[in-house]
Amino acid sequence: MRVLVTGAAGRLGSMVLPRLLDDGFTVRATNRRPRIDSRLEWAVADLATGAGLTEAVSGVDAVLHLATMPNPARRTYQVDVLGTRELVVAAGRAGVRHLVYVSIVGVDRVPIPYYRHKLAAEQVVAAGPVPWSLLRATQFPGFLDELLQAASRFGPTIGDPAVLAQPVDPGEVAARLAARLTAGPLGGIEEYGGPEVLRFDEAVHAWRAARRSRRPLLPVRVPGRTGRAIRDGGLVTAALPRGTRTWSDYLADTYGGTGRR
């Protein structure tokens, strides 16, 4: 199967490409600038302008759409919504048989602008002419790590202790995506999360232990509808199967500590 991967240079893309190659897929990947790799074909394409998309989808059996632009908001709409529409139209004209779009658990429940754009992109895919699948994943542990570093810039780690998170390993998401490509179009939404649901304070304690840090947690409640949504589990899923690699596994790999007290 020949698969086009958008967003191939991103965090998830770097896991997806070797997984697809190992599983025997023929891979074409997009980038805004020319790249050379003997293992796969790179196509120059830009979702923001639509340039190169017709050529990129030509001759492929499936599209794995990973590309996204979290900020700023205006460019997010241009890339995630309008760019996805351009891609779907081009794929339909090229006779692509399956389009897999990667989204985020909670886009339909957590009222933040980026999630609204991701939800709109999901709707573009579902309304398009190409048979489709949507995979919503929970947050990657690397993202949570970066969030905690940013929240600790001024000394204590600032955050809402009751927020719930469910970190999922991007390598396991990549494996799930490869399986979805093999299985064919779902015509629906699949959610995929990590093995454990953590409160923010639990994640912080493990993070501090792994980093051998004494920074205290300064509790600050996230206000409004967004705060209620993420405290009530808007970012987590009960869907099965789940990943197996835990937050502590990530911390051990990254910092050498166990992440356990």
Q: What are the Cα distances from residue 179, in Å, to 30, 84, 172? A: 21, 22, 11
Mean pLDDT of 196-213: 96
What pTM was computed for the model?
A: 0.95
Token pair 């835990």: residue: 246
- The first and second tokens of residue 185, run together, are 């179009």
| pLDDT tens digits, 154-177 | 999 999 999 999 999 999 999 999
- What pLDDT, on a 0 to 100 scale, did the predictor assign at position 261? 45
> Residue 159: beta bridge partners?
219
The torsion angles phi and psi of 72, rounded to 5 degrees, stand at: -75, 170
3-state secondary structure of 102: strand
Residues in the chain: 261
Can you give the residue ranges of every domain in the chain?
2-255
Cα–Cα distance, 11 to 14 (Å, whole number)? 6
pLDDT digits (tens, 9 = 90+) for 124-138: 999 999 999 999 999
pLDDT at position 257 is: 60
Helices vs strands, H then E, count in the chain: 10, 11
Task: State whether residue 15 is helix, strand or coil.
Answer: helix
Identify the DSSP state of 49.
T
Tell me which of 1.20.1290.10, 3.50.50.60, 3.40.50.720, 3.30.830.10 is the CATH number of domain 2-255: 3.40.50.720
Query: What does the pLDDT average to over 94-119?
Result: 97
Cis amide linkage into residue 34, ω under 30° from 0: no
Strand, helix or coil for residue 164? strand
